[in-house]
Amino acid sequence: MQVLAHLVHPHVVVFGGLLSDGECDALIELARGRVQRSPTLDPETGRDQVHPDRTSRGLFLQRGENGLLRTIEARIAALTEWPLEHGEGIQLLNYGVGAEYKPHYDYFDPGRAGNRATLARGGQRVATLVMYLNTPARGGATTFPDVQFEVAAIRGNAVFFSYDRPHPMTRSLHGGAPVLAGEKWVATKWLRESRHV
């Protein structure tokens, strides 16, 4: 594994070779046939909802659900120097042609009533790791519009970014650009400020 790029503000690190080809294939096979339209959390009600800004299909896995996940999660905990128990379960996502996730923030707005229950289950999100399980034929980059920075979706690579407060000043606005040809598979891991249950 190697560091391919590092931005200071926002704090973004691009890693090459975080996952092996075998791990990428195994994660895709774990999700194939099980993914459903990805929801977003409604900040007013706290309920999951399908939103037009997010057109991927996904599957949430339990932390430590099997040996493969335990191995990858331990690697992430060591890499980020963040306790394994402070991580959410990995989410597997599939984007077909035209699918995207428009620019958004991953932290939860503490002033919105619907986020209270989520925040009670592990505190605020403080970082995100997006791992690329394949290389789309065209498109599908992870974008950071505030700094005009894009990370190409390349199999085995990953992008990590952190945000020390739930505020746009972190410049952590990011999105998944539309897939223009082929498909994109990613595994996403969110880190919380305390133990996630």
157 conformational bin, left if phi > 0, alpha if psi -120 to 50, beta if neither: beta
Share of the chain above pLDDT 70, in %: 94
pLDDT at 168 over 70: yes
pLDDT (average), residues 89-101:
95
Residue 77 near residue 84 (C-beta atoms within 8 A):
yes
Closest CA to 60 of 194, 190, 192, 193: 190
Hey, what amino acid is at 17? G
Query: How sure is the predictor about 49, in pLDDT bands with cuts at 50, 70 and 90?
Result: low
Residue 36 near residue 46 (C-beta atoms within 8 A):
no
Q: Is 130 exposed, middle or buried (0-12, 13-18, 19+ CB in 10 A)?
A: buried
Least confident piece of the model among 51-55, 104-108, 170-174, 176-180: 51-55
The span from the CA of 182 to the CA of 103, in Å, is 21
pLDDT at 38 over 80: no
pLDDT at 37 over 90: no
Q: Assign 8 to helix, strand or coil.
A: coil
pTM equals: 0.92
